[in-house]
Amino acid sequence: MRGDAVESTDRWFRATVAVFGVVAAGVAVAGVLIDPAASGRVVAATPAPLLTVRRAPEMLRVAIGRQRLAAALDVVLSGPAFADARSTSCLVARVDGGTVYADGGDRAVIPASTLKVLTAATALSIIPPGERFVTEARAGAAPVNGVIAGDLWLVGGGDPLLETPDYSRTQDHSPEIATDVSKLADKIVAAGITRITGAVVGDDRRYDNVRTVKTWKRQYVASGEVGPIGALSINDNFTIKNARGRRTGAVDPPRDAAAEFAALLAERGVTVGSDARAAKPSDPTATAAAPTVVATIESHPIETVVQETLVWSDNTAAEMLLKEVGFRSNNQQGTAASGVAAVKAFAATRSSAPYAAVDGSGLDRSDQITCALLVDVLAGEAAGGPLERALPVMGESGTLRRRLKGDAAAGKVRAKTGSLNGVSSLAGFADTAGGSRAVFAFVGNGLASTTTGVEIGNQVAQQLVRFPDAPPVEALGLP
């Protein structure tokens, strides 16, 4: 089965040749034909009239290249290892805004982590450029003689990268991308505070207290794939168990974050009078209970946060971004449902293709989108814009750092990966040999091995980078 766009490309090419080949009634059409079965090989060329495709050689070359690319992508999907999965998978590729290939483009598929593209694009559209997440330390009154009378409130502002230095060292990302929470403790010491008579109170009520998605596999948190979600998250709401970074999820995330921060204060000589606790739903708001801001710490700009989320496929960050867009778009409702509604509304501004998801990371197997939707959303982004810059680079960075290293595609493809059992996906941008911008999405479902999906994704990237991969006009035999 050939891709839908192969035949449309044939028609487009022949129409292009006809337009440029006709000079007047009765004058012959330039007879350049492409054999789809031969991946775009030129099989016939007749003498051209006065006004010929020679006057638009690059258009002809691109037309040949489009057809060759379509045929090559069809070959990629036609291998025996993919035969059983093709009917449940999809591939869409566009070059310079025109669809070159579409196979199952409107088919609903499990996207895995390519769903993060939609979450990230929505976040970038809702959160103003350059904005930073702010974590606050607040008190009931200004300290007197270095003493805070009562509690110190640690108020979460949704920063998904709030970490201690020892945790950052166990992560794939560069430590400098994290928000070092120990610097907030340093600021409190620098303010001359030596004692807190009450407790450190963790307040994460910016979002709801639903920590996971009920249809996720239970081992996701246990295996460290994603932490318990909350607006105050230190170390992804994990506790480090050993030097290799083995982690366990927090039982009470805001309390555990408060305890982590109290320990940082104690290391710096600050005495805390009571055990850490979490703010209760019945407690006054942090601004009412603790109106005095003692110190704050800001995250990196939203563009950098999104970059870390996509480059390293950070599930916890994606889920926090989902709740943040829900908070900002739906009357301060920081829930997964409000976030999903925000993503759906954003996607509808770019595409008529359906979107159905329950999370922002793509961990849930009930998530369903299409390759057409992914490509529509990606194509709507400015070339070289924040979303494109946030994607991993083939052979160089993040989840793509080991793929096609040293290949011609290395450094020329920026794309989001995705992987679940039986699912492998790749969606993003490719810089072609001809200077074009390609946008593509491949999502393999029903795979016997995710390795097969990775190989197909790699081959798609390689074919796109080669475009137009067509002979010079001189080789066409036209006078």
Over its length of 479 residues, how does the chain's per-residue pLDDT go in tens digits? 344 544 444 444 444 444 444 333 333 333 333 333 333 322 223 333 444 545 457 778 788 999 999 999 999 999 999 999 999 999 999 999 999 999 999 999 999 999 999 999 999 999 999 999 999 999 999 999 999 999 999 999 999 999 999 898 888 777 778 999 999 999 999 999 999 999 999 999 999 999 999 999 989 998 999 999 999 999 999 986 665 657 789 999 999 999 999 999 999 999 999 999 999 999 999 999 999 999 999 999 999 999 999 999 999 999 999 999 999 999 999 999 999 999 999 999 999 999 999 999 999 999 999 999 999 999 999 999 999 999 999 999 999 999 999 999 999 999 999 999 999 999 999 999 999 999 999 999 999 999 999 999 999 999 999 999 877 656 655 55
Specify whether the CB–CB gap between 401 and 417 falls below 8 A. no
3-state SS assignment for residue 183: helix
Burial 41-62 (b: 16+ CB within 10 A, else e): ebeeeeebeebbbbebeeebbb
Which tokens belong to 173? Answer: 């990302």
3-state SS assignment for residue 193: coil
Query: Residue for token digits 């359906």?
Result: 354
CA quadruple 378, 380, 383, 387: dihedral, nearest 10: -50
3-state SS assignment for residue 405: coil
Q: How many CA atoms lie within 13 A of 338 on its CB side?
A: 18
* DSSP H helices in 293-335: 302-311, 315-329
Which tokens belong to 400? Answer: 């793509």
What is the phi-psi region of residue 223: left when phi exceeds 0, alpha when psi lies from -120 to 50, beta otherwise?
Answer: alpha
Among candidate residues 423, 367, 399, 422, the one with its CA nearest the CA of residue 216: 367
Beta bridge partners of 361: none
Specify whether the CB–CB gap between 425 and 418 falls below 8 A. yes
Task: Output the CA angle 380-427-379, nearest 5 degrees.
Answer: 10
Task: Output the CA angle 30-4-357, nearest 5 degrees.
Answer: 145
The single-letter DSSP state of residue 176 is G
Give the model's pLDDT for residue 74. Answer: 98
Strands, E, within 178-228: which ranges? Answer: 179-180, 195-196, 200-203
Question: Residue 413 and residue 357: Cα distance in Å, rounded?
Answer: 27
332 burial level (CB within 10 Å; 0-12, 13-18, 19+): exposed
Strands, E, within 110-169: which ranges? Answer: 132-139, 147-148, 152-155, 162-163
Question: Residue 428 and residue 417: Cα distance in Å, rounded?
Answer: 9
Q: Is the peptide bond before 143 cis (omega within 30 degrees of 0)?
A: no
Q: Kindly report the pTM of this predicted structure.
A: 0.88
Specify whether the CB–CB gap between 258 and 154 falls below 8 A. yes
Give the model's pLDDT for residue 469. Answer: 87
Specify whether the CB–CB gap between 72 and 39 falls below 8 A. yes
Q: Residue 268 to residues 288, 400, 414, 444: CA-CA distances in angstroms?
A: 28, 40, 43, 52
Question: Residue 54 and residue 341: Cα distance in Å, rounded?
Answer: 52
Q: Is the peptide bond before 468 cis (omega within 30 degrees of 0)?
A: yes
Give the model's pLDDT for residue 470. Answer: 76
Specify whether the CB–CB gap between 429 and 392 falls below 8 A. no
Beta bridge partners of 200: 152
Specify whether the CB–CB gap between 84 and 449 falls below 8 A. no
- End-to-end CA separation in angstroms for the chain: 37
Question: Residue 251 and residue 231: Cα distance in Å, rounded?
Answer: 15
Specify whether the CB–CB gap between 296 and 338 falls below 8 A. no
Question: Residue 10 and residue 67: Cα distance in Å, rounded?
Answer: 7
Query: DSSP string of 186-255?
Result: HHHHHTT--EESS-EEEE-TTS-S--S-TTS-THHHHTTSSPPP-SS-SGGGEEE-STT--EEE-SSHHH
Which tokens belong to 123? Answer: 């976040």
Which tokens belong to 179? Answer: 């928000």
